Structure 1
Amino acid sequence: MADQGQEGGAAPAAPTPTPAATEATAAAAAAPNTNVATVQPMAKYKLVFLGDQSVGKTSIITRFMYDKFDSTYQATIGIDFLSKTMYLEDRTVRLQLWDTAGQERFRSLIPSYIRDSSVAVVVYDVTNQTSFANTVRWIKDVRAERDSDVIMVLVGNKTDLSEKRQVTAEEGEAKAKELGVMFIETSAKAGVNIKALFRKIAGSLPGMESVSISRANNLVDVKLTPQTGSGGAPAAASCSC
């Protein structure tokens, strides 16, 4: 019966905390939690694509973004912008892709987009000697705005049109060495070296010591053999971008 009376009685009062205990509790609450992981902001890099009209700048970006090719040519008007997250071995980066118009009437817009860029991708058409010659001017424009504070890549596109080629891979590589930029050939239509192009760029971004900008001779040379039609004649090939 004594046990029942004890259960029905009032609970004993909690001990009053001492001043020292109160101060210790407050200090612990104010101290930062070192076990919480710090979230680092994702690094963002601006890539501006330059080159004459119809060399395939938009098609390279479309192939990289969506892994597709649109054979219907439509000229870029002004500036287009797309963004894509790229997952690397040791980090994740956000690539901001700026597609510029190649027409002369939009030329005055280009410098403002070059100024804060991290990478300049100068594209030419391997079947168009004039577009190749004009890359010197495009690269000069980049250096006028960014000097050496930008990564530059010279890209020879449309290698799928091997029978119409006017600029050899050796000429492209030599020009890149002369200008001190990286070089690669691609085919947006066939999807050749598109991923390699962006891996090359990502490897040269600040903080990626594994790849140096000075490796301009790192050429990925892919030779395509044209298909033959009936009777052994070469099959017609065309690329509108």
Structure 2
Amino acid sequence: MSSLYTVSGGKNMNQQPDYVFKIVLIGDSAVGKSQLLARFARDEFSLDSKATIGVEFQTKTMMIDHKTVKAQIWDTAGQERYRAVTSAYYRGAVGAMLVYDITKQQSFEHIARWLEELRSHADKNLVIMLIGNKTDLGSLRAVETDDAKEYAEKENLFFMETSALEATNVETAFLTVLSEIYRVVSKKNLTPNEAESGGDASLLKGTTIVVPGQEPIPAPSKYSCCSS
């Protein structure tokens, strides 16, 4: 594992965290946002999962580069009737997971709308990853990996395909986003209180995203895209 991406269990994980990072999950209903969160936060998956009502969040504390980082991950329903929570939901977020279902073309087509909403309500410089979920249903695939990669590259997003059911790439996806946020924030010596409140927007400006083991793809704008 590269030095940028060093994550380990740690000494006294109950101690006051050095950093608190808010990550939001967005995308259509039933694409698996809640299952991704449950798999990452508790290593659980439920076949009887029900649609999220309103907003909920879970936390997970880990060590990144010998610092205690607390991830506060927010999950909300994808249905239109819950859009009233938008403003508060995005406030203070420094990262986002933009999720679609690889078996539902429409959920991928709606990504542009979700991304527009995200960029209009959240800090324009936050770290964003596009997630194609449910790779365990590969025989039913409706969204080609190359199409999603192309879109992610065009919009300068991280990209990864996952399976919450099989726990494929779930931890890697979250830790990639958290590690990139940490890299940017720690470089500026941001204090824990500033991190918890979302920090100075200017701190996330001009960042190049690098996934361990992958070469960065040059892009003219602030983020380089990567593949799964």
TM-score (norm 2): 0.74
Letter in 1 for 2:147: E
Unaligned runs of at least 5 residues, structure 1: 1-38, 221-241
* Distance in 2 separating the partners of 1:98 and 1:41: 18
Letter in 2 for 1:163: S
Is 1:183 the counterpart of 2:159? The answer is: yes
Q: Secondary structure of 2:142's match?
A: coil
Offset, 1:91: 1.6
Offset, 1:71: 0.5
Offset, 1:212: 3.4
Query: Alignment RMSD, CA only?
Result: 2.0
Look up the match of 1:110.
86
Unaligned runs of at least 5 residues, structure 2: 1-14, 188-206, 210-222
Work out whether residues 124 and 135 of structure 1, in 8 Å CA contact, stay in contact via their aligned partners in 2: yes
Look up the match of 1:130.
106
Letter in 2 for 1:120: A
Look up the match of 2:224.
215
Look up the match of 1:55.
31
CA distances 1:94-150 after superposition (whole Å, capped 9, x unpaired): 100100111110012123211211111110000000000111111101111235221
Q: Secondary structure of 1:195's match?
A: helix
* Distance in 2 separating the partners of 1:69 and 1:185: 17
* Distance in 2 separating the partners of 1:215 and 1:90: 26
Letter in 2 for 1:83: T
Select the residue among 151, 169, 174 that pairs with 1:193: 169
Work out whether residues 114 and 120 of structure 1, in 8 Å CA contact, stay in contact via their aligned partners in 2: no
* Distance in 1 separating the partners of 2:156 and 2:147: 14
Look up the match of 2:142.
166
Offset, 1:173: 0.7
Relative distance call for 1:115 and 1:174 in structure 2 (3 A) is same
Letter in 2 for 1:216: C
* Distance in 2 separating the partners of 1:138 and 1:160: 24
Work out whether residues 204 and 212 of structure 1, in 8 Å CA contact, stay in contact via their aligned partners in 2: no
Work out whether residues 86 and 121 of structure 2, in 8 Å CA contact, stay in contact via their aligned partners in 1: no
Range 40-49 or range 114-123, more displaced: 40-49
CA distances 1:189-218 after superposition (whole Å, capped 9, x unpaired): 01000111012112211435899332312x
Is 1:86 the counterpart of 2:77? The answer is: no
Offset, 1:181: 1.1
Offset, 1:73: 2.8
Larger Rg: 1
Letter in 1 for 2:225: A
Work out whether residues 45 and 95 of structure 1, in 8 Å CA contact, stay in contact via their aligned partners in 2: yes
Residue identity (%): 36
Structure 1 runs (4+) deviating above 2 angstroms are 146-149, 206-215
Q: Secondary structure of 1:80's match?
A: strand
CA distances 1:45-74 after superposition (whole Å, capped 9, x unpaired): 000100000000000000011112101130
TM-score (norm 1): 0.70
Work out whether residues 83 and 96 of structure 1, in 8 Å CA contact, stay in contact via their aligned partners in 2: yes
Letter in 2 for 1:190: E
